[in-house]
Chain A
């Protein structure tokens, strides 16, 4: 996955997932539908101007269309901090490529540069630049110092929902549970946690295959007696492993005192 990596002066590195050209194209298509809708609404609203003569009302319509088509993206990205309707629906966001605040001038420049990105037709130049550039930037993004990222879901993992206080036969054999905590690599633990959190988003067949693979991996790491694991499905096995890895069974300690 392509990411926009930024290292802060404090030595912390964070990575924002970059949006690909297809999702950006879909967002743009949705935005064009929005522009068409606004234009249709504007025409209805401006219809009474015909009272002042056809010449005047036609002139206003020409200027209105120009303003809507030019300003929609700029205003939306500025007012919604890097998002348009299309980008919101597809969870995309324009950000400063250096991790700083998105400035109005950056929003304007990246949209003005659409004139050259859409050359010779259908955003071919912008699309090609987006594919070959390091941070998936079209020419407008390069000029403005911006990038388009996939905005993450703003929620914390709900462990109680996936673990739910169910009986954990693996945790009962404490020395094997301790060995499991010791031997499982952090990346594998995170993958298993992620799989559980997203289990409802996965197709049934793929879900069975995924948990079969994960359970097979964990069975190979620490071998439990057959009588403990024979009744467990692959998904239950993985859930029990995740509980051992991420949640202390005896958590009667007081929370850490607030530092802030």
Chain B
């Protein structure tokens, strides 16, 4: 134990103060690069504070030194590269590259949703009375033909004066759904799988209902303009959830669970941001285009618009940003 703690504190305090100042500056300037002499000085101060910590067995002084050493340790031993966020590069390069890096997770999310679509359509074909259970939305309970006739009659007046609010509500609600699907990845993917499948079930039941009633063109005109962006965005949320689940389970990986989750955290954030960005666009399109039908806008125009969007999205996610980084599967 230290016999003369006052002298010890007085002797060492200037070095602790110097270390505190260096750390405060580094923490306030995360992009800063130290010169060789500055780095050496920081390391010396860190080693000195560490040695002092080893001499103090307990008490308030130890807690102070532990806090000081922990901050210095974080700055000195951190090996992760801190990149400056560049919005344009993120949109054109990082997001599409990250999407392709975890393509298998996206494919799995798609297969699960398609499975749900098939189940929903089949369930409604076998038991049409199940419509109220499968599609718990009031506006979808009536006959598709009646809805089409009503839309023709109203000519888009239903949303007059509410388009902006409707668009904002769609953006926030759909973003919450995508992020919820992502977060459920922490249930070892079980929640994400259920959520993706259930979304598919609703989609399949709605699709079957309209097709069965002879309203296929209306359905395509209604869903394609926003759906070709909105549905992939939800799938990207599911993709991120499955990436978390894969890191959590870690089949065949020798890396610790904490490290696996650490490795994918930046990609998860990128995918979440990408899904949110897509849903902003989908919300605008759904409010200002999808809800207008013939005779206001022809179905052909809406379907063409949707197909062009789908092609652009495929090109963007499939090719933008050049070569994809190494897949996490190989880590």
A residues whose Cβ falls under 8 Å from a Cβ of B: 6, 8-10, 12, 14-17, 53-56, 58-60, 62-63, 66, 81, 95-106, 108-109, 112-116, 139-140, 142-145, 151-157, 159-160, 181, 186-187, 189-190, 193-194, 197, 245-248, 251, 253, 255-256, 258-260
Contacts and interface: CB of A to CB of B under 8 A. Distances in A.
Contacts of A54: 161
Contacts of A143: 185-186, 244, 248, 261, 265, 268
A63 B61 CA distance: 48
Contacts of B85: 104
Contacts of A197: 59-60
Contacts of B67: 16, 151-152, 154
Contacts of B175: 66
B60 A160 contact: no
Contacts of B78: 100-101
Contacts of A115: 176, 179-180, 182-184
Contacts of B314: none
B149 interface: no
Interface residues of B, number: 75
B187 interface: yes
Contacts of A155: 60, 64
Contacts of B261: 142-145
Given A116-B187, A156-B61, A156-B64, A255 B5 contact: no
B15 A260 contact: yes
A59 B70 contact: no
Nearest to A66: B172
A194 B60 contact: yes
B8 to A, nearest CB: 9
Interface in B133-178: 161-165, 167-169, 171-172, 175-176
B269 A193 contact: no
Interface string B15-55: 10010000000010010000000000100110110100110
Given A96-B74, A104-B85, 13 more contacts: A6-B73, A12-B54, A95-B70, A103-B265, A108-B269, A109-B265, A112-B183, A156-B9, A156-B60, A159-B6, A159-B9, A197-B59, A258-B11
B329 interface: no
Nearest to B58: A190
Q: Which 4 A-B pairs have the closest CB atoms?
A: A59-B164, A115-B183, A59-B168, A14-B66
